[in-house]
Amino acid sequence: MKKGTLVISLDFELIWGIFDHADIVTKKEYFDNTLQVIPKILDCFYKNEVKATWATVGMLFNENWDEWDTNSPSKKPTYSNLKLDPYVYGNSHRNIGLDRFFFAPNLIKEIQNTKGQEIGTHTYSHYYCLETGQNKEQFANDLDSAIKLANKFAISLKSLVFPRNQFNESYLECCAERQIVTVRSNPNDWYWDTLAPQTFATKFFRTADAYVPLGVKSYSTKSLKLAVPSCQPSSRFLRPQHKMELINSLRLSRIKNEIIHAAKAGEIYHLWWHPHNFGIDPDGAIKTLKSILEVYKYCKETFGMDSKTMEEIHNDLI
């Protein structure tokens, strides 16, 4: 019987992922919590022998604003919506004394030095691949900057996660040309189709799906197509801690049951979140993570479940 597999990917972005809808000054505690909780996440992974792919925004590799200026690509995204432009945002916030939320080379090195962790890319600038105004050439330049910086850390980028899950199939060629061998795609459910109109119904079902059973979320290795890059559907977004414990309990039970199902069926279960999601309630979030990893440990001991990075899943297809 084929073993089940737990895949975890994290969209590591800090302020670069939410600057268009969050005030950084009011988010100081939130992001300081995030910086402090990331080593705790790594410790949980290490102690439970759990692998993970950290899809990291390339801008975080920079040490400071001078490096940020030097490493910016020559062709930047020309979004019609200027609120999405990270270069405009960065230039207007470079003197506010909160550089720790813009750059994180030491944390990246800590991830790099933790056994079983893969550092992938979340593009250089948290690039939005479905927004109007930008184009494939700009995306390619963005990836080149991410790869160049990662190489300075002796990191070869093999896995990519599209920011905001804006999966753009026409951009896969750019990834392949740069030896990125696998990407995370969206679940097959209709309400996760980012190309469809984002209606009240899609938002409602995405939220409800986290708490009540709306179908099986794991999938077989046979369902993955051997390609470069290969596309790995996500199974579940680990939503942030809620103020209501009942909501947290429903969310956790959903994930536990899905992991057990994947282990029994010999399928892949792909869980993902943003490290900054743990900034709301760090203690509660770590408690939740430990509970999830306890279920994985049970499935490993009982059903032989594995833990693999996105790159390793791709390599299994070869």
Domain of residue 46, CATH code: 3.20.20.370
Six-digit token string for 181 = 């061998």
| Residue showing tokens 């790099």 | 112
Question: Residues 279, 109, 19, 273: is their CA dihedral positive or negative?
Answer: negative
Which range of residues forms the domain containing residue 288?
Answer: 5-317
CB neighbour list of residue 151: distance below 8 Å, 6 or more residues apart:
none
Which pLDDT belongs to residue 204? 55
Q: Do 299 and 4 meet the contact criterion of CB atoms below 8 Å apart?
A: yes
Q: How many domains does the chain have?
A: 1
Q: Locate all alpha helices (DSSP H) within the chain, ordered by sequence.
A: 28-47, 65-71, 86-92, 105-112, 136-152, 172-177, 200-209, 245-265, 282-303, 310-317
pLDDT at site 258: 96
What's the pTM value of the predicted model, to 2 decimals? 0.94
| DSSP structure class, residue 73 | -
Residues sharing a CB contact under 8 Å with residue 149, sequence separation 6 or more, in sequence order: 58, 61, 62, 71, 124
Please state, in angstroms and rounded to a whole number, the distance separating the CA atoms of residues 256 and 294.
9
Q: C-alpha angle 67/167/159, rounded to 5°? A: 55
- Cα–Cα distances in Å, from 73 out to 41, 76, 163, 194, 317? 32, 6, 18, 27, 33
pLDDT in tens, the chain (318 residues): 689 999 999 999 999 999 999 999 999 999 999 999 999 999 999 999 999 999 999 999 999 999 999 999 999 999 999 999 999 999 999 999 999 999 999 999 999 999 999 999 999 999 999 999 999 999 999 999 999 999 999 999 999 999 999 999 999 999 999 999 999 998 765 445 555 566 655 555 555 565 555 556 899 999 999 999 999 999 999 999 998 998 889 999 999 999 999 999 999 999 999 999 999 999 999 999 999 999 999 999 999 999 999 999 999 998
For residue 35, the model assigns a pLDDT of 98
- Where do we find the tokens 């799906």? 209
Count of residues making up the chain: 318
Measured CA to CA, the distance from residue 147 to residue 150 in angstroms comes to 5
Residue with tokens 């945002």: 89
Give every CB contact of residue 174 below 8 A, 6+ residues apart in sequence.
136, 139, 140, 143
